[in-house]
Amino acid sequence: MRQPLRYPWLDLDVDALSAPVLSVRVDVVGTKAEVPSHRHRKGQLVFALGGGVTCRVPSGLWMVPPHCAVWIPGGMEHSNAATANAQIYFVYIEPGATPLPDRCSTLSISPLLREVIIELSARAQKEDARGELLTRLLLTELPLMPIQRLHLPLSREPRVKRIAAALAKDPADRRTLAEWAKRVALSESSLARLVVRETGLTFGRWRQQLHLIVALRELASGASVQRVSADLGYESVTAFITMFKKALGKPPAKYLSGFAQDRG
């Protein structure tokens, strides 16, 4: 069950504020929560201190595991869905305040930047020398953060969109490319070319990327590796861990716990 996030700043128009940076903390209590599709002039950094968040934009689905953030450029339509008991920070940044990508990106967040984001949110827009120093530090450090490959390219093409919706509904669906091609009335080679053209990935790599996003979301919410492996249709936990490690460089437990240590 999902419910809308309870905004603590419903009367706050972030675009009306002249501050170059605004950090707001959001706690999701109990159940999963979702922010409906919307847009604003300021760019937005979605940072998960605990739990996980997925951000959907027209071109893709982006995962925010703990100690990472998704950068959403200003003016881009997007929605956010959080796991139960997630602790999230929304950081709004004035366009042009610092050089950041012009497209959505998942960024690693260093321990230093994490503490700056937390401290800025606790200051409740207080304007003083310390706040200005923290703001300058954030704007200096954020462009230096490494980009993580944690998104699923999406397409408006009807047949690719249909397959993506079916796989999102049932990630354990193991139908082959030939079986999907038959379902959408294409030859296997035509569907293979279509997926590459629309997403930049082969069909197998595209489906694996969906599995990674689902796995990170569920693991961040507290699910066990065994349960996630079964839910994604892997024949064994070992097969799932092998896939995860090959794609992201570490087994699931080390990947989720290692951000702070790796950059401490």
The Cα-based distances of 180 to 47, 163, 166, 191, 195 in angstroms read: 36, 8, 10, 8, 11
Torsion, Cα 142 65 53 231, to 10 degrees, reads 160
pLDDT digits (tens, 9 = 90+) for 89-148: 999 999 999 999 999 998 989 999 999 999 999 886 677 888 899 999 999 999 999 988
> What pLDDT shows up at residue 181?
97
- 155-260 in CATH: which number? 1.10.10.60
Q: What average pLDDT does the structure give for the chain?
A: 86
Q: Which tokens in the block code for residue 261?
A: 């240590």
Give the chain's length.
264
- Band of the pLDDT at 262, cuts 50, 70, 90? very low
Residue range 2-148 forms a domain whose CATH class is mainly beta
Count of helices and strands (H, E) across the chain: 10, 12
Q: Could you tell me which of 212, 206, 213, 214 has the C-alpha nearest to residue 247?
A: 212
pLDDT digits (tens, 9 = 90+) for 25-48: 988 776 666 778 888 999 999 998
Domain positions in the chain: 2-148, 155-260
